[in-house]
Amino acid sequence: MLNRRKFISRSAITSLSVLFGTQLLKNKSYASTTPGNGEGTKPLVISTWRHGIPANEEAMRVIMEGGRAVEAVEAGVRVPEGDPDNMSVGLGGLPDRDGKVTLDASIMDETGNCGSVCFLEHIVHPISVARLVMDNTPHIMLAGEGALQFALENGFKKENLLTPKAKKAWEEWKKKAKYEPVPNIENHDTIGMLAIDQKGNLSGACTTSGLAYKIRGRVGDSPIIGAGLYVDNNVGGATATGTGELVIRTVGSFLIVELMRNGYTPQAACEEAVRRIANANIPDIHKHQVGYIAVNKAGETGAYCLKPGFNYALFVNGKNELVDSDNYFK
């Protein structure tokens, strides 16, 4: 376990390395290791994992009907949130170690407005609560009991999110109760989604039940603006999946957008953000997975992850396809 002093000094090192990265950007040879043609295609939707395919479908439907990107990403990620067979998002998500399903979500629009909820229970669509926090309050993040109260006051229904399938998996886990939450394809978590609408505006959404069997109260990267999600309509957007602690300590999505602002392609920016994690002296780093996806204002996309297994769904030019991400640890 990290003691507080070690934790603080590691955090300080992380902050310094983020700052130092801006110095590296001045070195041209460090930027844009993957060539981009500077011309992507729009509109587009990109999202993490296989559950991104039906989610993209819904998001693109909203865009083609003239909807805003923010409406599209909300509608898109509601698909896996409402799917009881999806064990990593919304209804049917695997619970914490006490058997409670707790959800995190965030959303960010083309004006830089953002909203999020964390440690939210009993609500199937946390992304829509996050959107309401963004649109109808002067705040950005609501947590736990307060987030639930806000949702109920705004007409959301209280439901039991622990499906029989998830309950059975938790009961199996309890037999050994080995606390080793390692997300990858077999326990694929978060859906993060980015979209560019017909007007060329960008938005993003991110929603998850977090790491399976986490300590009660644990919150990951997904609801933290800059970590699990970041969008700057003048530059691009990024979102993350995988071990949230590693994304938070490197402020991954913000880092990717800042790298793109400084000339990196989305691909090169994702690679650099993953490299930061890989080189951060994290114990058992090989056991962890982190995957990033990114898009720039021109509609170029990128993706990268720590180890094999991460894939993402890209809907562009009328085709919605699952793509395997390249990875750092071969």
Which residues carry out catalysis?
190
Q: Could you say whether residue 301 binds ligand GLY (CB under 6 A)?
A: no
Q: Could you say whether residue 302 binds ligand GLY (CB under 6 A)?
A: no
Strand order in 103-108's β-sheet?
141-143, 114-120, 103-108, 202-208, 191-196, 44-48, 311-316, 319-324
Q: Could you say whether residue 116 binds ligand GLY (CB under 6 A)?
A: no
Q: Could you say whether residue 106 binds ligand GLY (CB under 6 A)?
A: no
Do 219 and 258 form a contact (C-beta atoms < 8 A)? no
- x/- site string to ligand GLY, residues 36 to 75, per CB under 6 A? ----------------------------------------
CB of 51 to ligand GLY, least distance (A): 14
CB of 245 to ligand GLY, least distance (A): 7
User: From the list 226, 236, 242, 302, which residue makes contact with ligand GLY (rule: CB under 6 A)?
Assistant: 242
Whole-number Å distance between alpha carbons of 229 and 234: 16
User: From the list 189, 197, 272, 300, which residue makes contact with ligand GLY (rule: CB under 6 A)?
Assistant: 189
Residue 162 DSSP code: -
Tell me the three state secondary structure of residue 182: coil
Do 295 and 237 form a contact (C-beta atoms < 8 A)? yes
Q: Could you say whether residue 81 binds ligand GLY (CB under 6 A)?
A: no
Q: Could you say whether residue 221 binds ligand GLY (CB under 6 A)?
A: yes
Residue nearest to ligand GLY according to CB distances in the complex: 220
Whole-number Å distance between alpha carbons of 288 and 278: 10
Q: Could you say whether residue 126 binds ligand GLY (CB under 6 A)?
A: no
- Closest CB to ligand GLY among 78 and 214? 214
Residue in the block written with tokens 């229970």: 121
> Which amino acid, 293?
I
Is the N-terminal amide bond of 43 cis, ω within 30° of 0? yes
Q: Which residues pair with 120 in a beta bridge?
A: 103
User: From the list 48, 86, 106, 190, which residue makes contact with ligand GLY (rule: CB under 6 A)?
Assistant: 190
In terms of Cα–Cα distance, which of 23, 40, 42, 19 is closest to 31? Answer: 23
Residue 156 DSSP code: P
CB of 102 to ligand GLY, least distance (A): 10
Mapping DSSP onto H, E and C, the string for 122-149 reads CCCCHHHHHHHHHHHCCCCEEEHHHHHH
- Closest CB to ligand GLY among 81 and 189? 189
User: From the list 76, 126, 236, 244, which residue makes contact with ligand GLY (rule: CB under 6 A)?
Assistant: 244
In the complex, the residues that contact ligand GLY under the rule CB under 6 A are 189-190, 208, 210-211, 220-222, 241-244
